[in-house]
Amino acid sequence: MKFNGTVHSIFDRTVNLKCRTNGELYTIATDSVDNAPNTLVTDIDSFSKRGLVIGDEVYAEGERLYVGKNAAVMLQQVHVWRSKLPSYPEDEDILRNHVAEAQLWIEAHGKAGGMKRSAETGNSFDQEMDRLLRERSAGLLEALSKGEVSLASHYAIQLIGLGPGLTPSGDDFLVGLFAVMNLTNGPLFKIRHMCERVVAASADRSNPISYMALKKAASGQVRESIGEFMHHMIHGSKTEVISRLSRVLGTGSTSGTDIALGLVNGLKLSIERNGR
């Protein structure tokens, strides 16, 4: 392994590293975090008390990755993980049923405050944020349903950076939607180039951590929990769908719900487009 960079950000379960070679962010994570693009899952139980400082040097030498002065990760047992999305099904009956079930589960168990409307009215800022998220996501889905790629791109760009959270709700919704657009043989697959164009035009609209998730999702690279959920939506049982959906919903604060709504709305749109 070759790596040269610095510590970008530090959390309890993850440390993000910025690579000097390509400018991308990479993540070292505890084993409570699932596999994801550019992520190394370790047996370290916490990063917040390891004396790491933003800007610390990070480099790989031999079988070790050195992070600052006090942390080293052994690399002998590292296994390469690659994101894999299923192909869109020829028979949509199972998917159609699972989309309806997933929608009901998100309504009952998803966390409000982002893409899912909160029952509380909140202050005027929250109300305006809620209105913009709803208006722009609805515009995006409608434009995609009509095949209006340019208009869809406009709405997608307007969603980036919008909403609460370290990864804003609009970004998370797009991560889910972009994953659906990258399903081989799916109704949206032929216009998936839109995803990368949207991300390329939006580098300055969100923070680096969220932008990296969007960049990867634009080419169909998403975290393992998302890929497993998609697989069971197409091939699994109701029990498996709910189990994997619950895992997605557990991501971050509202992030999991926002991602799940992007996934489910994208799948619902795919079914509708195929039915014409």
Verify that 102 and 203 share a domain, yes or no. Answer: yes
Strand order through the sheet with 25-29? 39-41, 25-29, 14-19, 4-10, 57-61, 64-67, 71-74
- Res 77 pLDDT > 80: no
* Total domains, the chain: 2
Question: Tens digit of pLDDT for each residue in 79-123?
Answer: 888 899 999 999 999 999 999 999 999 999 999 989 998 777 678
CA dihedral sign of residues 123, 137, 11, 35: positive
pLDDT at residue 170, rounded to an integer: 97
Q: How confident is the model at residue 131, as a pLDDT?
A: 92
Does residue 79 sit within a domain?
Answer: no
Residues 250 and 153 in one domain: yes
Counts for the chain of helices (H) and strands (E), in that order = 9, 7
Domain residues for 209? 93-274
What is the sign, positive or negative, of the torsion defined by CA atoms of 30, 231, 158, 134? negative
Q: Residue 116 has which token pair? A: 């899912």
**Which residue intervals of 79-148 are DSSP H helices?**
93-109, 124-145
pLDDT digits (tens, 9 = 90+) for 188-201: 999 999 999 999 99
pLDDT confidence band for 237 (50 / 70 / 90):
very high
Say which DSSP state 75 is in: -
Q: pLDDT tens, 22-73?
A: 999 999 999 899 999 999 998 888 888 888 999 999 998 888 899 988 778 8
Q: Check whether residue 176 and residue 261 sit in a common domain.
A: yes
Residue 205 maps to a domain:
yes
This prediction has a pTM of: 0.94
